[in-house]
Amino acid sequence: MLILSAVLAIFVYGMIAAMLGTILPDLSSRFQLSPKQNGTIALSQAIGLVIASISVGPLIDNHGVKTGLVLGLAVISLALFLLPKSSSYGQVVMYLFLLGLGGGIIVTAANDLGNAISQGHSGTALNLLNLFFGLGGLATPFVSANFLQRDSHKLCYLAAILTVITLGVNVATAMPGPSGAQSFQLSGVGELLGNPALWLLSLFLFLYVASEVGVWNWLVQHLIAQGIPESRALNILSLGFALGLLIGRVAVSPILISISGLTVTLASAVLMMFTTYFMLQTKDPKLAGLLVFLAGVSMAPVFPTTLAIAGGVFPRMTGTALGIVITFGWVGLAVSSRIIGTIGGGDARRLKKALLLLPGMAMLMIAVNLVLHGFISGK
């Protein structure tokens, strides 16, 4: 039941991570939104993620992961039921903020639970757990394009019902309380914040999430601008990128038993640099789908493996450490979405230019990983 609870929670987060990119064309049409307003909507979700992840760590360390999972799933359910009732741009911004708030809570809590039950193989366990993120991310655009005729109202209600079911499972599941070794202690904050590894891991995840969410939120818009039909673009996002994340995490799990997480994430960053660049250079749907799939595979290990590295470096106050690292990831989401939306404007060439931030951030990830590798190896 602990594994089921964590898996369902991560699946829900995968659904809502792909939600904005899936419904953004419909929202833009319904409310006549500009690209800058689209960027603001993405920013509001990112702010919710940041607030949640920076504050939920101490809550989890002191009261256990169940408190975080139940609270986060309840907030997501509320946001998904309210979003289809939006009658203005301002309401959309508010409900996406709530969606981000709930998402930030459950992603920290679910990964902390996965880390706790991994029995010494946290890298493998968290990659297997987070493959359900890829499955949730695949399901949202795929179901929308192929079964719901891109009806954003029906999609939100379906996701809300699945979230309520997940909430019921988590309420019914007995979960371990906080251990003494992991509980939040004010006296340990200085030692935690003074460790350079915390900030290097935070910067690495900042760059990664900025890149991944850039794909989730803007790939469909980019493909449509290249002349690819919206339904085909949604399928490229689901059967390309999301499926790549899913398969990549299955494939890397046994590799992490014998190869260090730092080495795996370095290889991922190198592959990201090439795949994200080349996927922006084609207008052919088949080639775009293949390149987007390869980009998903290359990105797949980064998020869970980085959290596994953080869990190993910080065996005490783990929830707080994970919360800080994940928070910087959401800051990356906010920054990239705003910049891409502003640079992209309403012109296809400008959006393509803005999306070149993705391979650029992968180059920076390589540099940060090498510094982190030297620091941890030196210890």
**342-379 burial code (b ≥16 CB/10 A, e <16):** ebbeeeeebbeebbebbbbbbebbbebbeebbeebeee
327-338 pLDDT, tens digit each: 898 788 778 877
The whole domain housing 299 covers 2-177+188-378
Whether the predicted pLDDT of 302 surpasses 60: yes
pTM of this structure: 0.75
**What does the pLDDT read at residue 330?**
79
CATH code, domain carrying 199 = 1.20.1250.20
What six digits make up the tokens of 348?
Answer: 């296809």
Whether residue 229 is contained in a domain is answered as yes
In a domain, 126, yes or no: yes
Question: H or E segment at 26?
Answer: helix 19-31
How confident is the model at residue 184, as a pLDDT?
A: 47
Residue 62 in tokens: 């002191």
d(CA 305, CA 124): 8
Is 182 a member of any domain? no
Query: What pLDDT is recorded for position 178?
Result: 67
Q: What is the pLDDT of residue 347?
A: 65
Reply yes or no on whether the pLDDT at 142 is more than 80.
Answer: yes
DSSP reduced 3-state for 1:
coil
- Tally the domains of the chain: 1
Establish if 260 belongs to a structural domain.
Answer: yes
What DSSP assignment string belongs to 69-93? HHHHHHHHHHHHHHGGG--SHHHHH
Query: Of the candidates 103, 108, 361, which has an alpha carbon nearest to the alpha carbon of residue 215?
Result: 361
